[in-house]
Amino acid sequence: MKNSRKWLPYFLFILAVTAFFIYYLFPSDKIKDYITFHLNKTYPGIHITVDYVKPAFPPGLKLYNVNFFHAPNPLFTVDQIKIAPGLLSLFRSKVIFFFKGRAYTGVLEGKGEFTKHRPEVMIDGKLSGIQIKEISAIKDFTGRNISGVLDGNFTYRNQKESGDHLKAELVISDGQLELATPLLQMESIPFKKIATDLVMKNMNLQIKKCIINGDQIDGRISGSVSLKNTPGQSYLKLSGRIKSHPLFIETLRNDLSANLLPKKIFGKNGFRIRIYGTLDNPRFFLN
């Protein structure tokens, strides 16, 4: 017992020195280059940059200022993300890893797995508290300003046979959506909540449902978006129903002649809306 007490300080000292050298002599540049090279090689359409890498405990890596690009366009930036492998899975053909990071004042976390001998990746993730206005890629893609707090879940699959497949259930709260073309005298739509259910396979985005709840209008829209390499040329094919709140209808009555407004706007069930055209030049039809 006395001997163990005698050697304990030396053991702790050696442990501290070892941890010091592991941390401060960690080959950050080499590991950063290794990670970015293999990720960029696996996904030619996506380019990833990392400022630097540090070891983390429990065993893992912390990546700082991780930027994702599609061609020259920025997609998403993560201030810091910790990636920790499932240790037992390192000895198997399918490696499991866990991640958690900070992005746009919110949190990104989840679990993923990849196959060593085939370029297949599966990721299940969760978003919470993301300030969507700060994501420049959304404005660049839509050409509109969108604000609000983003929460939700997503699953991503990249498999050789079926290609890219993304499914997401997202909610944006307490925000505002800028319109390309004024609708019913509105240049933007403030909303309490937008809840969406999306599926994207390769370059085709299916909006299974998009429910809008606001102070002025409520709505429900579904349809598809054919994505193009030039975002503004992406083609919209959407339809749904819009219901105006009584106070908003009264405002319209006061500002416009009732003869200028479709009669269905004043109905209890609202009115149907169709949206066709490109993101740069959408066309709205009320019927």
User: What are 66-115's pLDDT values in tens digits?
Assistant: 888 876 778 889 999 888 887 666 667 777 888 999 999 999 999 988 77
Closest of 74, 48, 49, 50 to residue 61, by C-alpha = 50
HEC readout, 223-246: EEEECCCCHHHCEEEEEEEEEECH
Q: What amino acid is encoded at 113 in this protein?
A: E
Distances (CA, A) of 22 to 56, 152, 197, 229, 275: 11, 37, 45, 44, 58
According to DSSP, residue 110 is labeled: E
Predicted structure pTM score: 0.78
Which residues of the chain have a pLDDT value below 70? 1-28, 34, 38, 42-45, 71, 87-91, 116, 118-119, 160-162, 180-186, 246-268, 287
Question: How much is the pLDDT for 260?
Answer: 47
Q: What is the residue whose two structure tokens read 């900070």?
A: 102
What is Dmax (Cα atoms) for the chain?
A: 98
Closest of 199, 223, 215 to residue 282, by C-alpha = 223
